[in-house]
Amino acid sequence: MRENRHASFSAFGAPEEVLCVCTGEMLPPAPGEICVRMLAAPINPADINYVQGVYGEVPQLPTHRVGLEGCGVVHASAAAGYEPGDMVILLDTVGAWSRFLTAPATAFLRLEEHIDPMQAAMLKVNPLTALRVLEDYAPLQAGDWLVLNAANSGVGQCLIQLARTRGLHTICVVRHAAARRAALQALGADIVVDEDEPDMVRQVLSTPGVKRPLLASNCVGGESALRLMDMLAPGGTLVTFGSMSRKSIKVPNSWLIFKNISLRGLWCTRWLQQMPPATVAAAYHFLARLVAEGKLQQSIAAVHGLDNLQEACRQAQQEGRSGKILLRLGE
């Protein structure tokens, strides 16, 4: 029996304080299951919140594994349609931060596309969130504009790239815009503006060729979300999928009455639970093809092994990173 190592916790709290790496045996797959040798997994805000006990789904203690997203290859299979060597991503179970993960085959999706495992490890959350923002809330056509805050985040980078493939224009709101403008423009951003710029809305809307956007992507909340709504066209929609500022959105009544703005929420976990498997698979294969074609890439700031888990978690919570913090799990 091969040795397995995995991250787990027995109390809610700061990940760098409560997480530990445990050693045990690799579990062989039961009928309908596969055993996956995990290759890589990102540390997402959702993972941090999961360990803190403030995620949308609160795990049951005394002990629980960690890792909502990751990529690996099938090590052993007792399920139809999966063979050793197949690359898979994790969809609907927890435990990606493991050397080996054994679970029902329905918890995984086999990738048909040959892509970098590091990019595959990040396919589940950020690209799907960006795709759902673009496709599910406003009837956008080529030439339309959308505005997003935290544009340098993983979802923001994906949204900029996906918008470019559809001929859409992006207004990207970030902190420290001067330091990030070149990188975001290289992804396809049209306008990059500083979150704290005085009179930012007027400045953007007075730019030649810019039209009020029909769609706003919000993962910050508070005053940042208000500025996005101020920029929206009448009948526009604000989609919220995160709350980095941890501040509520207080909407002026006049915007609801006279601009007829819609406020919507997005939680991709729910989308994955509600959609038919074929719909889910089609979305991920579409995104994987874009990755394979070089049209969709997520930046990586650092890669750590499980032995450096605490430092990896600390880095994942730092502001101003240039990309994702990943765990390399095959070591």
Domains located in the chain, CATH noted: 3-122+298-328 (3.90.180.10), 126-267 (3.40.50.720)
Each residue's pLDDT tens digit, 45-66: 999 999 999 888 888 888 789 9
Rounded Cα distance, 221 and 242, in Å: 8
pTM (predicted TM-score):
0.93
* Mean pLDDT within 10-17: 94
Q: Residue 14 has what pLDDT?
A: 95
Window from 62-66, 67-71, 82-86, 228-232 with minimum mean pLDDT? 62-66
Which stretches within the chain are classed as H helix? Answer: 15-18, 45-52, 117-121, 126-136, 154-165, 177-187, 200-205, 222-231, 253-258, 268-274, 277-292, 309-316
Closest to 219 measured CA to CA, from 283, 300, 302, 125:
125
The structure tokens listed for 6 are 């995995």
**Cβ neighbours of residue 302 closer than 8 Å, sequence gap 6 or more:** 312, 315, 325, 326
Task: Tokens 């039209």: give the residue.
Answer: 211
Beta strand 100-104 with 33-42: parallel, antiparallel or unpaired?
antiparallel
Q: What positions carry a catalytic annotation? A: 55
Q: Residue 92 has what pLDDT?
A: 87
Q: Residue 1 has what pLDDT?
A: 61
Q: Residue 203 has what pLDDT?
A: 92
- Residue 184: phi, psi to the nearest 5? -70, -35
Widest Cα–Cα separation across the chain: 67
Q: Mind spelling out the 3-state secondary structure of 48-74? A: HHHHHCCCCCCCCCCCEECCCCCEEEE
